[in-house]
Structure 1
Amino acid sequence: MVVYQARVGDGFREKGLKRTNSYFSTPKEAVTEALALKKKIDSLYKNEIKWDYSEEVTGPAEKMKILKGYLSGHEKSKAFYLQIISMKRQEEFSIVPPIKLKNISSDDEKMMTKVVKLFK
């Protein structure tokens, strides 16, 4: 069985952000979690990250970057990114529900649909 994990890469601080021990059974749950983490990092940077929905999804299914963003839209700065990681389930992995979002933008909804199709 495959499990998925959502991560956010903080280009400014050069470190990743994820919810500890958060593994999901479907790609859609992982993308939902990634969007919740995106909302968290957006609030940390006072919504100054400009997310580029026009870029292609990159990387293999094991480590797929699904969305990139740049602080104040400066593409020369280090990128922020949302990433879905897939791996074989192990005994110590516990499946958890994703953080529930109250609303999702249409751009985020389109991106979620595209990513879920890529995993099928």
Structure 2
Amino acid sequence: MRERQKTRFARQLRRQMTDAEASLWYHLRNRALLGCKFRRQHPIGPYIVDFACVERKLVIELDGSQHADSASDSARTSWIQANGYRVLRFWNNDALRQQQVVLAVILEALESAGPIASNGSAP
């Protein structure tokens, strides 16, 4: 997929979020967790991830039943991790019904990544 096509597709995905994505996005947007900026339906390499905090190199993916034991998801996760990101995967059902647990796991991952350098240099 060409870069321009990928950008258009990401924009389309942002307009058509699932219930689980919309619910989680409510808690991630506007730097609500530790002041970290999250992007939704963000292109990373050949993939478009559900949510990404670029500063902390964290990707969050929400999966439905179609993702159970998916070989392509494993390859995708491996590629993203090989490019320096940590990947957290949650089931859509958990994002909706156990949202506080999901948010706690995300918060823990953000905290373990350390502070964001404000001027681009290491603290």
Which protein has greater RCO, CA pairs closer than 8 Å, 6+ apart?
1
Specify which structure has the higher proportion of helix: 2
Specify which structure has the higher proportion of strand: 1
Q: TM-score, normalised by structure 2?
A: 0.26
Q: Which has the larger radius of gyration?
A: 2
